[in-house]
Chain A
Amino acid sequence: MMQQYTRLFKSKRVKICLFIILSFIFMALFADFISPYNPLETDLSKSCRPPSFEHLLGTDELGRDILSRIIHGSRLTLTISFVATALGAAAGIFFGVISGYFGGIVDTIIQRITEILLALPGFLLAIMFVAIMGSNLWTVIISVAISMTPSFVRMVRGLTLQVRELEYVLAAKQLGVNDIKIMFNHIIPNVSPTIIAQVTLNLGTSILFASGLGFLGIGVPPPAPEWGTMLGTGRAYIFYAPHLIISPGLSVFLLVLSFNIIGDRLGEIIASK
């Protein structure tokens, strides 16, 4: 099994992507030490300055240093992406395994709820949620998590349906191993490779989703340096000062692309075994 994952790092593309992700993680961890300015400090006399040696990526409409905001923003973005994906995947695995393993009425109820959630666009759901709960970091995380749960439930249920009829599960049942132990010891470990690939892809998707919310103005509220929010406010100055949206846009692009490439490669490796 481990050998398969070491195969992942043989590809050059994956190495580059991993480097990009790790550097963003590094930025997020040490933001306080490496950012040149305070990301919240405004200076209207320096509004919308283009990149210079003083401000490497320029300043925004309120004169805040964009590089510092990107660095601090990576902290927010990665927190949202990792926490939301973890929550979404955990909920998806929980309901998916139960639904697939037990079948019957439990399966029907979980699947109908999943279908309802899938029928509503994720953004609409998130907007509703934010409207009810008000917008802050946690509502963003939870709405991103809720929007990705149904697809996880579906995937895990399908995988569980395959595994539960396999001989080793039947043998465990014949021995009298209880259902919870079978789910934890046999089913989850055997569906996990596919889940890992899906989680990696969802890390990217959740970044897009969270910055989308920020762009619409219902994400993490300002003045927090969230990339999507930066894009949203910078949009007004797009012709006059394009550097306001280039840097956050490029950051989102690079991070999402890296997660997607790694996720795809993981999926290929798992499929080829």
Chain B
Amino acid sequence: MELIKGENLSKTYNLKISLTTSIKVKAVENVSISISEKEVFGLVGESGSGKSTLGRLMLFMEKPDSGKVIFKGVDLSRAKKDEVKDARRRMQIVFQNPDLSLDPRMKIYNTLKEALVCCKYKGDFVERIKSVLEEVGLSSETLNMFPHQLSGGMKQRVALARAILAEPDFIVLDEPTSALDVSVQAQILNLLIDLRKKLNLTYLFISHNLSVVSYVSDRVGVMYLGKLVELGNCDEVFNEPLHPYTKLLISSVPALYMTKKFFTQNHTALAENGEENPSGCRFFKRCPYAKELCRVKEPELDGDKHKVACHFA
């Protein structure tokens, strides 16, 4: 069963450089993804590839310039205000930076209470909050603390508790572990996996850490400069990558024993700045297999289950 679908989503930001000139940054361009119920969809790509923007577009936190978001069969760009508000509450987010995701001037209890007020919870607030805190692995003493009294991992657990208290169906995890140290990362990841089973959640997991994504995801999408370049089951994408960018990404994960071959083959490609190629494939300048066709024609995301946007894959 499909839970949420983004169709042909595009978002362009205008960056004002001076009074008269501004550059347009195409953060996301014509991307379609669909996520089924209880699935974990991983989204990978380098910084600035539009992963987070795509996540925010799916949440309707930002309105897409074109395209639509369909949540549980409802087209959010055409829905009434109340419907959108209700749908947005059922889609929550956990942010990358735990220091910024909680209001520093608010006690944890008040932060969490907001979520309960918003979903019009009828029962006892304190009890409900305590039980959810326990679920995310925090003691009830946390209730009366301020965010600055908690560690990064604890703050992230509180942020997760806030998301869960809103009784969501879908949670966007926007690099939830990248600001934490490695031992805490593992704890949070396992917590996320447990909660998904317990509460029947669907995740959009955004990360640039390939091993983390491969650990949690069922399906994976690879983004490059605002476009989805490869999409498929987690195992397939990581074991048999089809797009040259995915190959590059996977081979650039530092291994304990790196072969000389890695450096000679990929170093130039990595160093080259991925400039936009207006008419053809976006990866053209960095691609070791690029041909004349790639410069002229942009490849479409094509394929059956394992989709790829490359002329020669």
Q: How many A-B residue pairs have CB under 8 A?
A: 57
Q: Give the docked Cα–Cα distance between A112 and B136 (Å).
A: 49
Contacts of B159 in A (CB 8 A): 171
Contacts of B88 in A (CB 8 A): 174, 176
Instruction: Indicate if B202 sits at the interface (CB-CB under 8 A).
Output: no
Q: Give the docked Cα–Cα distance between A167 and B56 (Å).
A: 12
Please give me the residue from chain B that is nearest to A169 by CB atom.
B103
Please give me the residue from chain B that is nearest to A188 by CB atom.
B105
Contacts of B85 in A (CB 8 A): 176
Chain B residues bordering chain A, tally (CB within 8 A): 27
CB distance from A169 to the nearest CB of B (A): 8
> In the complex, are the beta carbons of A172 and B105 less than 8 A apart?
no
> In the complex, are the beta carbons of B101 and A175 less than 8 A apart?
no
Contact with B105, one of A1, A167, A170, A173 (Cβ below 8 angstroms):
A1
- Chain A interface secondary structure, helix, strand, loop or mixed? helix
Contact with A167, one of B92, B97, B106, B110 (Cβ below 8 angstroms):
B97
Given known A170-B61, A190-B105, contact A175–B115 (CB-CB < 8 A): yes
Contact with B100, one of A168, A175, A185 (Cβ below 8 angstroms):
A168
> In the complex, are the beta carbons of A175 and B89 less than 8 A apart?
yes
Contact with A171, one of B93, B104, B110 (Cβ below 8 angstroms):
B93
Contacts of B228 in A (CB 8 A): none
Contact with A186, one of B93, B97, B103, B118 (Cβ below 8 angstroms):
B103
Given known A177-B118, A185-B106, contact A171–B89 (CB-CB < 8 A): no
Q: Give the docked Cα–Cα distance between A187 and B245 (Å).
A: 42
Please give me the residue from chain A that is nearest to B99 by CB atom.
A167
Q: Give the docked Cα–Cα distance between A190 and B104 (Å).
A: 8
| B residues 77-105 in Cβ contact with A at 8 Å | 85-86, 88-89, 91-93, 95, 97, 100-105
Given known A174-B59, A174-B91, A175-B166, contact A167–B114 (CB-CB < 8 A): no
> In the complex, are the beta carbons of B61 and A167 less than 8 A apart?
no
Given known A1-B105, A190-B104, contact A172–B114 (CB-CB < 8 A): yes
> In the complex, are the beta carbons of B101 and A171 less than 8 A apart?
yes
Q: Which 8 A-B pairs have the closest CB atoms?
A: A189-B105, A167-B95, A167-B101, A167-B100, A175-B118, A168-B103, A176-B118, A176-B89
Report 17 cross-chain contacts, Cβ distance below 8 Å, ordered by A residue.
Answer: A166-B100, A170-B61, A171-B95, A171-B101, A174-B59, A174-B61, A174-B88, A174-B92, A175-B89, A175-B114, A175-B118, A176-B85, A176-B88, A176-B89, A177-B114, A185-B103, A185-B106
